[in-house]
Chains A and B, each alone.
Chain A
């Protein structure tokens, strides 16, 4: 079945560091990719939606200069958390969608900022 690969699965870094997370659709071309954030024991919160070759659309309250999204191809999107601080520590999950197919999710990236 369709697979979305997310890398890395776990990142621990110092405050002030920028962290890049990659999301790849492995066996289909994703017209749209999504980035979510999830806090412990809560549901997913959509951060932004990106379409290949165009600027991402950010949800209200999400800082676009803080969370840079690049969707360079139909199979790759990246999320860069710039100058990360402890409050950015969270579980980030990407997702990919094409046509009327099920939306598929990556395994998530646990980001811990010290």
Chain B
């Protein structure tokens, strides 16, 4: 059974510092991995999607890497801003699960001004 873990569960950094969020998964047989942002009381906003054949994706200050063989993905957020404060979730789409995403527990990020 696929399990997804995100460490740390919470992170607090001063504004301007780079953020590094980790995601690990137990089964490397995945179609893709997706990073989301969730603000309090809101749904999920898709940030980056990495296909299993890709090693990284970039969008603005965000960069996500994927090492499928070791079961790890890292989301980097450069020059963090207070507006980056949110919960970040990673999710994998296993090859054997009929299109169902498996989510990590999330990392709650606070960027202090």
Chain A residues engaging chain B, CB cutoff 8 angstroms: 4, 6, 32, 34, 42-44, 46, 49, 57, 91, 93, 95, 97, 100-108, 110
Contact = CB atoms under 8 A, between A and B. Distances in A.
Interface residues of B, number: 23
8 contacts: A93-B44, A97-B99, A100-B31, A101-B49, A102-B46, A103-B46, A105-B46, A106-B43
Interface string B18-50: 000000000000011010100001111110010
B89 interface: yes
Contacts of B51: 100
Cβ-closest 9 pairs across A and B: A105-B44, A102-B49, A107-B43, A105-B43, A108-B43, A102-B46, A43-B103, A43-B105, A106-B43
Interface of B: 31-32, 34, 36, 41-46, 49, 51, 89, 91, 93, 98-101, 103-106
Given A43-B89, A44-B44, 17 more contacts: A42-B105, A43-B103, A43-B104, A43-B106, A44-B89, A46-B100, A91-B41, A93-B43, A95-B44, A101-B49, A102-B34, A102-B49, A105-B36, A105-B46, A107-B42, A107-B43, A108-B43
A28 to B, nearest CB: 13
B36 A32 contact: no
